[in-house]
């Protein structure tokens, strides 16, 4: 019989590996199962996020942004640069180095904390057993007191646009283009589509984004979404809303291959030809072949593992976390669920505030938000007040030549408690975190307004937006407080 563990985790992505480390820290004998291996057969820890998602995409986003800065923005600082060129191969090599360092770092953390790494595909059986099938097809049964499912997600495929080698690709393939495509099509104007489209647009691709919805970024506050669309248009992204892709066809040979996309919009049926096409219309839970029929764990109608607020499944002592369960598919949400479950197994009463999870789009400028947006509050009939502050009035933003965007603060009209904050601008992902903390502690906009912020900093824009809620902003003319 194989070795028994106190905790077995299926999946070593941000939810799984964090859960494994925390379980081990709490003194539990822990193993983490991961099927992903490299071309040498070595396990690849970190899941989609570290290998082909969050981390490599941010590496390319930062590299491409620096290219744009050097090409267009250094002159304003008095810096003269000769002809600026992008070495795509070197950019990709840097990305891979970062990925290797981070994924290797997880292996080091496993070793330091005493987590056992098991290589293979895990399948949950009845009675808290997990069947692991390795690359050679050999199967081993493991037993545990507690099991955590963290199998993650994969890109959604659509019938009209099947993947074709390196011509029609998903988000993973879009990280591996060896040259800048002259004409790039992107199906989907969500977070992934906008980020990847931005990378290649900065490097010179003519990017067309085809989005089926009639509304741009409907999950984002309407003021921020409107401003974002204007910024992206200025950057050269051709975003076409209300377009439904009906078919694709790849023609040509070798480097001369191209893809023709047929789509329909309000004016009828159209077609356009691209050198590359990225399909990024969302992600789905990776739940196929994960559960034996008698394991006791159930899936919902969309393939997510059914769990309660504490991430408990219908099977006793079996939990599920991360992209495989309900809620936003965000690495930070999954990681916190991993910690919560580990601590609850250890007898602690840890919980997550699911109403206070920030969202970010890592374009440039960044878009970030927390809490309720204005359209949600209007629909609910909630009385609120709003304060905004533009980065163009920030001394620090001016010094950095990063004046595009704004901070929008929303508070309850009666209690002044902060209901949401929405930002487009430099370092938005970091700035919004201040408001995440404020909301977690039930702060009012006045609380932030009375807090001392260092000068000159970008964070002063958050301070001024909080002041503006009551019409007390210092560095812009105040309008009468806007209440709804």
Architecture of domain 365-483 in CATH? 2-Layer Sandwich (3.30)
pLDDT score, position 38: 87
Token pair in block for residue 208: 């067309």
Architecture of domain 4-155+284-345 in CATH? 3-Layer(bba) Sandwich (3.50)
User: Cβ atoms within 10 A of the Cβ of 328, count?
Assistant: 13
Answer whether the bond into residue 472 is a cis peptide, omega within 30°: no
For residue range 362-413, list pLDDT tens digits in order. 999 999 999 999 999 999 999 999 999 999 999 999 999 999 999 999 999 9
Token pair in block for residue 445: 């906009």
Give mean pLDDT, residues 420-425.
Answer: 98
For residue range 309-348, list pLDDT tens digits in order. 999 999 999 999 999 999 999 999 999 999 999 999 999 9
pLDDT score, position 40: 82
Residue ranges per structural domain of the chain: 4-155+284-345, 168-281, 365-483
Q: Is 455 a catalytic residue?
A: yes
Long-range contacts of 137-142 (CB under 8 A, 24+ apart): 140/2, 141/1, 141/2, 142/2, 142/3, 142/4, 142/5, 142/8, 142/31, 142/33, 142/118
- Per-residue pLDDT band at 102 (split at 50, 70, 90): very high
Residue 175 has pLDDT above 90, yes or no: yes
pLDDT score, position 466: 98
pLDDT score, position 1: 52
CATH number of 168-281: 3.50.50.60
pLDDT score, position 41: 83
Q: Using alpha carbons, select from 188, 193, 205 the residue that is nearest to residue 241.
A: 188
**pTM summary value:** 0.96
Torsion angle of alpha carbons 271, 277, 282, 286, nearest 10°?
130
Residue 482 has pLDDT above 80, yes or no: no
| List 364, 422, 455, 472, catalytic entry | 455
For residue range 116-134, list pLDDT tens digits in order. 999 999 999 999 999 999 9
Residue 16 has pLDDT above 80, yes or no: yes
User: Cβ atoms within 10 A of the Cβ of 454, count?
Assistant: 9
For residue range 149-169, list pLDDT tens digits in order. 999 999 999 999 999 999 999
Q: Give the single-character DSSP code of 335.
A: H
- Reported residue count of the chain is 484
Answer whether the bond into residue 365 is a cis peptide, omega within 30°: yes
Query: Residue 256 in 3-state DSSP?
Result: helix
């Amino acid at each position: 019989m194989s070795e028994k563990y106190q905790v077995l985790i299926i999946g070593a992505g941000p939810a799984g590996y964090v859960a494994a480390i925390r379980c081990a820290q709490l003194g539990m004998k822990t193993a983490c199962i991961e099927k992903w291996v490299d071309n040498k057969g070595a396990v690849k820890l970190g899941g989609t996020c570290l290998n082909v998602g969050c981390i490599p995409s941010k590496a390319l986003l930062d590299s491409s942004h620096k290219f744009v800065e050097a090409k267009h923005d250094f002159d304003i600082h008095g810096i003269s640069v000769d002809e600026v060129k992008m070495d795509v191969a070197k950019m990709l090599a840097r990305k891979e180095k970062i990925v290797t360092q981070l994924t290797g770092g997880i292996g080091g953390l496993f070793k330091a904390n005493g987590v056992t790494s098991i290589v293979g595909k895990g399948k949950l059986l009845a009675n808290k057993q997990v069947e692991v099938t390795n690359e050679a097809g050999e199967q081993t049964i493991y037993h545990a007191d507690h099991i955590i499912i963290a199998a993650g997600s994969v890109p959604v495929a659509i019938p009209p646009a099947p993947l074709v080698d390196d011509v029609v690709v998903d988000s993973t393939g879009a990280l591996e283009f060896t040259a800048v495509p002259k004409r790039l099509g992107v199906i989907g104007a969500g977070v992934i589509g906008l980020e990847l489209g931005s990378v290649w647009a900065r490097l010179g691709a003519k990017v067309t984004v085809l989005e089926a919805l009639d509304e741009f970024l409907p999950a984002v506050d309407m003021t921020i979404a409107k401003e974002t669309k204007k910024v992206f248009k200025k950057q050269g992204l051709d975003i076409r809303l209300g377009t439904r892709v009906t078919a694709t066809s790849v023609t040509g040979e070798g480097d001369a291959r191209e893809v023709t996309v047929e789509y329909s919009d309000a004016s009828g049926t159209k077609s356009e030809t691209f050198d590359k096409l990225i399909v990024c219309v969302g992600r789905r839970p990776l739940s196929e072949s994960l559960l034996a029929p008698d394991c006791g764990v159930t899936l919902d109608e969309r393939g997510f593992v059914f769990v309660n607020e504490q991430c408990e499944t219908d099977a006793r002592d079996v939990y599920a976390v991360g992209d495989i369960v309900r809620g936003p598919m965000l690495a930070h949400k999954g990681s916190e669920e991993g910690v919560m479950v580990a601590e609850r197994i250890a007898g602690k009463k840890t919980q997550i505030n699911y109403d206070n999870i920030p969202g970010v789009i890592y374009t440039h400028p960044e878009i970030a938000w927390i809490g309720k947006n204005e359209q949600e509050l209007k629909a609910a009939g909630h009385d609120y007040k709003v304060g905004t502050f533009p980065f163009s009035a920030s001394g620090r933003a001016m010094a950095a030549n990063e004046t595009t965007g704004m901070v929008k603060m929303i508070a309850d009209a009666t209690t002044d408690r902060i209901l949401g904050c929405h930002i487009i601008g430099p370092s938005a992902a970091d700035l919004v975190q201040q408001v995440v903390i404020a909301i977690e502690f039930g702060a009012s906009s006045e609380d932030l307004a009375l807090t001392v912020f260092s000068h000159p900093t970008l964070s002063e824009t958050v301070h001024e937006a909080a002041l503006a809620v009551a019409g007390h902003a210092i560095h812009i003319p105040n309008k009468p407080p806007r209440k709804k």
